[in-house]
Structure 1
C-alpha cells in the first residue's frame, strides 16, 4: 500500500557533530522510500546558536549524537533553540529509551546501529510530526484471500467487495460510526472512536491503538475493558514492526505459538493488528484462540485506512491553521517593520532637510568671514579644498584657482605644519575640533596664525557620532597678541630681576652703612664714616643698574641693518671655542642693535660649544670641513635665525647655501642650564621670540623677525 502524496514535503533538520556525518545522515534519510517526500537539511552541532531560525521553518529536528558523549553535550542547547519544533533523538543504544523519555524536550527516540535504523527514524518522524497518512478507502472490503497459517494470517488485499456476517452487522456498525469519526477535529478523539467502533464491530472488549514513541509502540487510546496501566509499551521488533512498515494487517490465532510476540494483556490468546498509515497500530485481542477471521482482518484494515484518511484531514487542517497563524504573525511583524521604516524614513528626511538648511546657512556665512578661511570636503578619505574666501586670497595672495578642488596639502597647510600633515588629515577625517599654531608668509610678511578646524555638522548614528565630511579651517592672526605677550613676559622678568636685586644687592649695603653709623656714633671714630661712604657708593651703583633694568623696555636701541653671519663671526673670536668649528649657512639681514646682537651671539656660541663638549684652544674657520671636530652652525630660518651645536663626526657641510632646519619642538630658554638670561633680555628688547631644543647638541631658534629689504635706497 502506498500512502497518498502530501501537499508539501516534510522538512527535517539533521544535526550531527561533523559536517560529513550530517550530510551523509541527511542523504540517507531522504532516500527512505516509506512515508512522504522529505527535504533534509544537514547542520553541525557548532551551529546551535543559529539553529533557532532554521528550526522555526522545519517540521522536525533530528539530534544524531549520543547525549552521554562529548559530541552530544549540546543536546539541551539544541532543544532550547528548537522551541516548539519537535526533536527526535537518534542515539546509540548506550542511551536507553528510559533516559531519553526522562529528558525534557525530547519528543521521539530511535536507536542507531541496526540495519533498518534509518527506516525506523523515518517512521518516528511521521509519528512525532503527525505527518502524511495513507488515504482511506471509500468502500469497505470483502475478504478474498486464501493465504493463512495455523498461527498468523497476513493479507495483501486492497479492494474487497463485501464483509461481515449474514446480517452485515460489523459493516453496518462501521458505516453508522463513519460520520462521527469523519467529524473528529483532534487526534486523541479520533483514536478513541476508531478503537471503540472497531471493537464493537468484531465483538471483542479488548482493543487499543498504539503509536510509535521513543522506538516503542505506546498505547494512546483503549476500550473500557482495558486499563492503561495494564498495557506496557511494546517493542517494534518482529511482526508488529513489519506490519507498521509494510502497511499490511496481520492476524495471530495463537499468541503462544513459536515466533509470535508476547501477549500484550494477560489471558489473551489471539490478536488482530492493522496499521493506521505509518502512525501506529490498531490492535484487537480475545481470550480465546482464532477469535478473528479473514473478514475481521480485512474489515479492520479498511477501518484503519478510514482512520488514516481522517487523520490526514485533521493534521492538514491543523497544519493549515498553524501556517495561517504564522502567516498572520509574520504579516503583523511586516506591518510593524513597514511602519517603523516609514517613521525612520520621515525622521531621516527631516534630518536631511535640517542639515541642508544648516549647510546653506554656513556657506552663506562663509563668504562674510573676516578672517582667512578654507572650506574642505572629505572625498574618498582625502580632504579636498572646495572654496576659499576673499580674506584668504587677500592675506596670502593666493588665487582660488590654485587651491580649489585640490588636496589639502602644502598649498594650504602653513609652513611649520608639514611634519604634522598626517595628524591634520586624520583630524579632518574624524571631524575633530582642533587648534594649531603656525607661522606663514603673507602679503605683510611672516605672521603668526592660530588654525581652527571646524566641522560643519555632527549627528548621532547608532549610538556613535558620525561627522559630516566637510568643514572649515579658519586662520586667526595672533602675531600682535603674541608679541604683546612676549613684551609683557619681558617686563615681568625685569620686575622679578629688580625684586631679586633689591632683596640681595641693595639691602646688604644699607645694612653695612647702618652698622658703621652706629659704630661711629658709639666710638666717635671717623674711620667708620669712610666705610659708610663705600657702602653708599656701592648702593648708588646698584640703584643705577636697577634703573637701567627697569627702563630696559625704553632703552635706546639704535637699530640698523645687520647681517647675522657677519656678527656671528665677530662674536666667535671672543668665545673660547676649543676645537669646535663655526659653519655659517644662508644669511639674513635684519634690524638690530649691532652691539647687543654681538653680545647675544657671544652667549649663544658659548652655550652651543658647551652643549657638544668641545675642548682644546684651537679656532675653527668658517665653512671648514667637519672632520672629527664639533661644529656650530649659524644661519637663517624661514622667520628668523638659529644657532646649533653638532657633536664631532656630524656631517653638516652644506651643498651650497640653504635655510637652516628648525626642530619641531622648542621649549622656553629659562631652565635649560645654559645661563641664557641676558639672551632673553636682548631678544625681548628687540621683540623676538626665542626657543631651545636639545638633542645630541642644542639649537637656539629666534622667531618673529622681519627681514630687511637690502635693495631699497
Structure 2
C-alpha cells in the first residue's frame, strides 16, 4: 500500500492502515501488520474467501457502519466507532476513519479505542448515577453559573424547563422581594466564595416556606458558579407555629386558672373560718358552693385548653340569676350590685356567662374603691333588648387604653394578671356577641355586651 520509507512509518503506527472492498463482506485487500495485534488475524484471513472485515464486526454494530459508508461526508472522510470480535473471541472497540477511493474500494485507518470507550462508558454510568441522585432528592436542586444563571435544574421544580438560562431576577411568577434577595445571595456565594446553610425564606404571595442552602462550585480552585438545594418546609413551619400557638394557649390558660380560681378559694376559706368561729352551718353551705364553683372553673379551663374553640352548652338563662351566682364568687365587703329592672333572657352557656360576669365584677372591685357600686342594666333598641351593660362608679379606663384592655396580659393593677378581660372577650366572642368599653354615667367603666337578641 505504501512504499519505503513511508511504509516503515505507517507499519509502526498503533492500529492498522488498510484497503478493503466496499461490497460485502468487505474483504481486506491489504493491511499493515497492526491488524494482527488488533484482531488477532492476518489480512489473508479476511480476504473474502471465507470471510471479510464485516464478518468480524459485532452484528449489532454492522447497520451503523454500513450506513456511515453509504453516506460519506462532503470532505470524503467518515469516522465510525464500533465493536469487532477478535480471533480469541474478545470484543474490542475500534475507531475506523475511511474514505472511498473508488466505487468499489475504501481506504482507512482502524485503531483500538477499547480503553477509552470503557472509560467513557464508566463516565456515562457515573453521570447516570449522579443524574439519578440529582433527580431523586426530594427537593429543588440546581446548578448556576458565575452570572447566577440556572444551568441545571432538577425536575422537582414544576417549571424547571422555564428557568434554565435565567437568573432568579428573570424568572416570572415569583415575588420580587424574594427573587431580589435570592439573587443577592447567589452573587454573595459566587463572588465571596461563602456558603449559605439552611436559610429559611417565606414567599408571601403563595404563602410558602422554603429552606435553602447554597455552596460555591469550584473547578481547579476557581469558583465557577454554585450548587443549591431548596426544600419546601411549609408543613413543618405551620406545625411549629401551631405548636407555638398551643404552648402560648396553654400558658394563657394556666394564668387563667390561677386568676379565676383565687376568688372562690378565698371565699371558701373565709366561710370555713367563720364556720369554725361561729358554728353557723350556713357558712359550710357557702363553702361547698365556692368549692363547687372552683371545680367548675377548673373543668372549664381544662376544656378550653384542649379545644380549638370554646364549646358552649347554651340554654335560655336570665342575666339577673347568673349575676347573683357570679356575685357570690366575688370577694367583696362594701361593694354593691344593682340588677336590671326587667328580666334579660339570653341563649348562653350559664357557666361561661357566669365567668364573664365574675371577671367584670372582680375587675370593678379591684380597680375602684372598696365600696364601688356596680350596676347591670339592659341595652335596648326600639323596645327590644339587644344586650346588657356592666357599669361601675370607679375611675374608669382612659380612652387611649380601651383598645388594649381585652389583650392577654394587659393590666394596670400592680397585682393584676392581665387575663381576666381577655377571658371575657374570648367567651363573648364564642357566643357570637360583641363587647366594648366606654365611659359610665358616673365616670367609671362601662362594658357593653351586645348582639344577644
Superposition TM-score tier, normalisation by shorter sequence: 0.3 to 0.5
Instruction: Please report the TM-score for the alignment, with normalisation by the length of structure 1.
Output: 0.24
Structure with more strand by fraction: 2
Structure exhibiting the larger radius of gyration computed from Cα positions = 1
The TM-score with structure 2 as length reference comes to 0.36
